[in-house]
Amino acid sequence: MTKKEILRQIVPPVLWKGLGFGWNKARAFKARLIKVCPAIAPRSGQDLGVYWDSEMAALLETWGEGNAWVEIQFLMVNCKGKVLDIACGTGKTIEKLASFQDLELHGFDISDFLIQKAIDRGIAKERLKVCDATKTGYETDAFDCSYSIGSLEHFTEEGIAQFISETCRITRHGSYHMIPVSRTGKDEGWIKTYQSYHNNSVAWWEKQFRRVYKNVYIIDSRWEDDISLGKWIICFKEGE
């Protein structure tokens, strides 16, 4: 196995494209991650420790440039009211949408470390929350629209079902989710690199959403990496 192949086994898709450095630096990056987050979750569970790592927080500041962050602005341009950023991380996407005057932007993340970084960048503390996407605690129809970017694939299959159901419950109208799908078009399943994630087909993902939503649309994203292509799954409740 080559050095590149070894590195590909320890780095999740969301980081792979943005690494952009040589083997020695990549090896040092791996060592820092293991030092900060020594516990590796089993294949059946999520790897959550990385969300408290400063290196990950830094990468989250740039990875959506030129693709997902441009696309979410197009998707939000006709939206109004309260909008929820699901798994908002450091709040970079909220910052990107701040000029949309018709939007009241809110966000949550499971990591208090990342939420503090969102507060530090100037996002109002009262519009941020630390919670799990499968059980948020928000009221039913609390938000007019919601979105997630590069998050849902890291949940277990049970967690994905709970995530989608909870998002539907707390969102009045449209919900938008950017995820990777396999380049092969096959259901490659729960893949373990450093952070576990699902790398499955478009059909597999569509099935997950159609269990909850009547109206589901899938469009291309410009995000991509070596084994995945980005897709936006756009969902509306019955009657929308």
The whole-number pLDDT of residue 177 equals: 98
Provide the terminal-to-terminal Cα distance of the chain, rounded to the nearest Å: 51
What are the tens digits of pLDDT across the range 18-52? 445 443 444 444 444 333 333 333 445 787 888 99
> What confidence category does residue 240 fall into, taking pLDDT thresholds of 50, 70 and 90?
low
Instruction: Return d(Cα 226, Cα 204) in angstroms, integer.
Output: 20
The whole-number pLDDT of residue 194 equals: 62
- Domains by residue range for the chain, with CATH: 68-236 (3.40.50.150)
**pTM summary value:** 0.81
Instruction: Return d(Cα 12, Cα 8) in angstroms, integer.
Output: 8
The whole-number pLDDT of residue 17 equals: 47
Give me the residue label for tokens 């919900």. Answer: 175
The whole-number pLDDT of residue 43 equals: 42
What are the tens digits of pLDDT across the range 60-113? 999 899 999 999 999 999 999 999 999 999 999 999 999 999 999 999 999 999
Average of per-residue pLDDT values in the chain: 86
Instruction: Return d(Cα 173, Cα 225) in angstroms, integer.
Output: 31
